[in-house]
Structure 1
Amino acid sequence: MATFSSVTRQHILQAIAEYDDRGAENFLGVYGFGPSRGYTLVHEGKTYDSKAILGVAHRYATGRAATSEEFHGGTHGAAEILRKRGFEVDEPETAAAPQKAAAPRKAAAPRKAATPRKPAEPERVAPICPTCFMTLPGTGVCDSCG
């Protein structure tokens, strides 16, 4: 299971920038996330898939992207973490408490039309030395262990 304590606001902003650069469909496909069915991150008038953004922010923080199965509390858990980092997360209508009156929402700005992009290639996993656990150079021989 992934822990998100090392994920900072800056890591989340980096993931948002990558999402904007790749486009939603390509971003989700590269990291293996499906489209959000509820909780959406709102940043600068645009909406983002909360679990995918947090999973990729985990990659910026630790070097490994978290998968959708690694979230404690599902999408709701991702929303809590994003809120703690100062982001706005919209809840689906069915998740709102029945006693509360729904707060009026601002109309989100429409997303820009996606430009066709070259599909991204999956991230290559670097080989690791089995003795010292350092990333191996291109030669495949560890500089430390030989």
Structure 2
Amino acid sequence: MSRQHILQAIAEYDSRGGEAFLQVYGFGPSRDYTLIHEGRTYDSKAILGVAHRFATGRLATSDEFHGGVHGAVAILRKRGFDVTEPASASREAPARPTRAPRAARTPVARPAPVREAPTAICPTCSMTLPATGVCDDCG
């Protein structure tokens, strides 16, 4: 699955609207991690499931892959997307004793996203085209 497939899924989410997108593809709303792209938030597992459809022609259900840091979140971050941490993690953290203020920290540099060549997509059915450039389904 490439960054382009994920961007296609985001575009479809935007055009359908969040609730309709989740309903069409049978995903529930995100409970923990949220994908952030250009200031908007998206359900991370639903976006990844639909991106899988654009890449392979088959929708991946939420049961087929795991969410969380080692699943959907890891894939999205590897492709250069930002994903929020669950809000419950900050509430569950134990309270720290009061300390003197620390010096400012140096920001951690994230690796730059790997540039991938855009994949050719059939304009009729939105499937990834084979190397021949001719859609197997539409001809």
TM value normalised by structure 2? 0.63
Matches within 5 A, 1:93-104: 93-95=87-89, 98=93
Deviations, residues 42-71 of structure 1 (Å, cap 9, x unaligned): 000000000000000000000011000001
Instruction: Please give the secondary structure, in 1, of the residue aligned with 2:63.
Output: helix
Supply the distance in 2 between the matched residues of 1:65 and 1:10 (Cα, whole angstroms): 16
Instruction: Please give the secondary structure, in 2, of the residue aligned with 1:69.
Output: coil
The Cα shift of 1:88 comes to 0.2
Match of 1:144 in 2: none
Paired residue total: 97
Supply the distance in 1 between the matched residues of 2:89 and 2:62 (Cα, whole angstroms): 19
Deviations, residues 70-114 of structure 1 (Å, cap 9, x unaligned): 014x34310111000000000103346959x9xxxxxxxxxxxxx
Match of 1:106 in 2: none
Unaligned 5+ runs, structure 2: 97-135
RMSD of aligned C-alpha atoms?
2.4
1:47 pairs with 2:38 = no
1:81 pairs with 2:75 = yes
Match of 1:67 in 2: 61
Match of 2:14 in 1: 20
Supply the distance in 1 between the matched residues of 2:89 and 2:20 (Cα, whole angstroms): 28
Conserved in 2, the CA contact under 8 Å of 1:51 and 1:75? no
Instruction: Please give the secondary structure, in 2, of the residue aligned with 1:42.
Output: strand
TM value normalised by structure 1? 0.60
Conserved in 2, the CA contact under 8 Å of 1:50 and 1:78? yes
Deviations, residues 8-41 of structure 1 (Å, cap 9, x unaligned): 0000000000000000011000100000111000
1:35 pairs with 2:29 = yes
User: 1:51 is matched by which residue type in structure 2?
Assistant: K
Supply the distance in 2 between the matched residues of 1:94 and 1:14 (Cα, whole angstroms): 30
Conserved in 2, the CA contact under 8 Å of 1:11 and 1:61? yes
* 18-27 or 88-97, which deviates more: 88-97
